[in-house]
């Protein structure tokens, strides 16, 4: 694997969530983990 170059990928979390919210059951599952997501956000 010679000459591999690092190519970062942009991540827009709001766009990701907007698309994911269209899936059945996503919003309920995401909301159920709100406390865990807040904790992870504070740790980062």
Can you tell me the distance from the alpha carbon of 12 to that of 24, in angstroms, rounded to the nearest whole number? 21
The per-residue pLDDT for 4 is 85
Q: What is the pLDDT of residues 1-44, one digit of tens each?
A: 678 888 899 999 899 999 999 999 999 999 999 999 999 999 98
The per-residue pLDDT for 30 is 92
Task: For residue 28, give both structure tokens.
Answer: 């309920």
Which residues make Cβ contacts (< 8 Å) with residue 32, sequence separation at least 6?
A: none
Can you tell me the distance from the alpha carbon of 26 to that of 18, in angstroms, rounded to the nearest whole number? 11
């Amino acid at each position: 694997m010679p000459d591999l170059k690092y190519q970062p990928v942009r991540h827009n979390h709001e766009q990701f969530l907007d698309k994911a919210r269209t899936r059945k059951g996503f919003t309920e599952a995401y909301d159920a983990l709100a406390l865990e997501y807040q904790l992870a956000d504070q740790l980062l």
